[in-house]
Amino acid sequence: MLKNCRCIRNDGRRFRSICGVLVGKAGCRFSSGYFCHVNGCDVMATVELCPYGSLVVAADWSDETQPNLHQVMGIAASSRTLAQAIIPCHSHVTLDLGTGCGILALLAAAHSEQVVAVDSNPRALRMARFNALLNGTTDIEFLEGNLFEPVRGRQFDLIVCNPPFVIAPQQIYLHSHSGMPLDRLCETIVRTAPVFMRQGGYCQLLCNWVQLAGADWRARLETWFDGSGCDAWILHSHSEEVADYASNRISNLAPVAAQREKQFNTWMDYYERERVEAIGFGLVTMRRSNRSSNWFRCESWPEMVGPCGDAIERGFVARNFLEDHGDRDLLETRVRHAPNLQWRQDHDISDLGTAVHSSLHFTSGLAYTAKMDSAIVKFVSRCAGDRPLSEYLRETAAISGEDVCQFSPRFVKVVRRLIELGFLLPV
């Protein structure tokens, strides 16, 4: 691997031969300076090869001592997170906005008839094009330009974007820092994307957003979607105080302690001027909808167990179902339990005796947990889509020893939440 060939001496011919095989597979001509620097028999790699599943992609070797604005990032943690969250529905045309090394475009190609990859960094496009050829993918169109400019007038079934979302006072890397104030880039993408989405199409992007002093950050995020014609689901991973946020990111940018301190002070001054107290992390998923009114949902991101794109898509279906059914109508519908559930019972032993707590857990996807009494757990386990919920209401009330009329409001509330989280699926 090039990553393990940082510097090779006295065997430059052999290294050039290895690179020639890789580059020849991609149909490109090997040239010193792009994949490596060759000086006689000394060879210094400038790229690394990063495996991901059955794919292998090239990206720039990271060198924090010499930051390069146009550096092409490899498969970072954010790329892996978004890759696990992409909705794997069949797509006629998918847009990878800010493709970088092209990993998301390559993954999207598996369920898309055509993929369009856009980036404003010429080096990134060249690297992504090489990676497509290296992996034998030919149905990706590469376009250079800023954000949506190269695809004006076109619409897509799926838009994926891992933008340069780091909120910083200056631009250091194109792949991380937008150069726009605060979270303006993410807001711009959210507000612009609907024009480029087909009816029923999705847009998914990872975001950082500011949490301003004295302001409700959820209400602020919700304004991004005003008039968008899209339903929106925000999965909030976590938030960091600005001091922690700055320190964590600067540690990767400034190798010398004195430089880190100077950078830290600059960042903190910036946050203080802009009244930023904390910065949130999360996933935005939007769906273009022709509904008379759109919904906005913001909640904590549960643990991901493997790919969760299917679970996200089911979440949109479930929320629309709940919006369309009042309580009385809901009781006449049929549901089935999700296939990937696990029932757990915890026994707490104390001097007062033993207390038993029941809960349901997902074993894959968005691993929500729901605590509930055993009567509700048994109700969920019996749901097979063959009977209306009204029958289960009467049975569960009888098991609980309660009057049906008094039990009904609580039962419906629980059922709504179980459908919203995906434990119960409408049929």
> Are 175 and 123 a contacting pair, CB within 8 Å?
no
What is the percentage of the chain residues whose pLDDT exceeds 70? 85
pLDDT at 31: 47
- Which is more confident, 1 or 297? 297
Asked whether the predicted pLDDT for residue 160 surpasses 90, the reply is: yes
Q: Tell me the per-residue pLDDT of 193-207, one tens digit each, with 9 for 90 and over.
A: 999 999 999 999 999
What residues pair up with 56 in beta bridges, in sequence order? Answer: 51
pLDDT at 357: 80
Of 28-37, 148-157, 261-270, which has the strongest mean pLDDT? 148-157
C-alpha–C-alpha distance, residues 160 and 421, integer Å: 23
172 vs 277 pLDDT, higher one: 277
Kindly calculate the radius of gyration of the chain based on its CA atoms and give it in whole angstroms: 25
> Out of 8-17, 161-170, 202-211, which region has the weakest mean confidence (pLDDT)?
8-17
More confident residue, 220 or 13: 220
Going along the chain from its start, the domains and CATH numbers come out as: 66-321 (3.40.50.150), 324-426 (3.90.930)
Q: Predicted confidence band at 175 (pLDDT cuts at 50, 70, 90)?
A: low
- Give me the pLDDT at residue 121, please: 92
The pLDDT score that the predictor gives to residue 261 is: 86
- pLDDT grade, residue 2 (50/70/90)? very low
Taking a C-beta distance cutoff of 8 angstroms, is the pair 106, 184 a contact? no
> Per-residue pLDDT for 35 more than 60?
yes
Residue 205: name the closest of 63, 87, 355 by CA.
Answer: 87
What is the pTM for the complete model shown? 0.86
Residues 6+ apart with CB under 8 A from 85: 204, 283, 285, 304, 307, 308, 309, 312
**Phi, psi for 189 (deg, rounded to 5):** -65, -45
Residue 233, φ and ψ in degrees, nearest 5: -130, 115
- Measured CA to CA in angstroms, residue 327 lies from 157, 324, 394 at distances of 33, 10, 15
Q: What would the mean pLDDT of 325-330 be, rounded to a whole number?
A: 95
Q: Which of 47, 46, 42 is nearest to 13 (CA)?
A: 42
pLDDT tens digits, 70-127:
778 878 889 999 999 999 989 999 999 999 999 999 999 999 999 999 999 999 999 9
Quickly list H helices, 281-373.
309-324, 327-330
386-404 core/surface letters (b: 16 or more CB in 10 A; e: else): eeebbebbebbbeebeeee
CA angle 15, 25, 120 (to 5 degrees): 95
Helices and strands, counts by H and E, the chain: 13, 21
* pLDDT higher at 332 or 292: 332
The torsion of the CA quartet 164, 168, 171, 177, rounded to 10 degrees, works out to 0
Residue 256's pLDDT band, with cuts at 50, 70 and 90, is low
Other CB atoms closer than 10 Å to residue 75's CB: what's the count? 18
Asked if 171 and 178 touch (Cβ cutoff 8 Å), the reply is: yes
pLDDT number for residue 132: 95
Is 32 a residue whose pLDDT tops 90? Answer: no
Output the CA–CA distances (angstroms, integers) from residue 126 to 21, 70, 95, 142, 344, in the order listed.
18, 12, 17, 9, 51
Identify the helix (H) or strand (E) that includes residue 385.
strand 384-388
Please give the average per-residue pLDDT across 35-46, as a whole number: 70
Half-sphere exposure of 96 (CA within 13 A, CB side): 29
**pLDDT of residue 161 exceeding 60:** yes
Residue 57 pLDDT greater than 60, yes or no: yes
In the three-class reduction of DSSP (H, G, I as helix; E, B as strand; rest coil), residue 303 is classed as coil
pLDDT at residue 15 greater than cutoff 60: no
Higher pLDDT, 71 or 133: 133
Tell me the pLDDT of the chain averaged across its residues. 87
* 270-302 pLDDT tens trace: 999 999 999 999 999 999 998 888 999 999 999
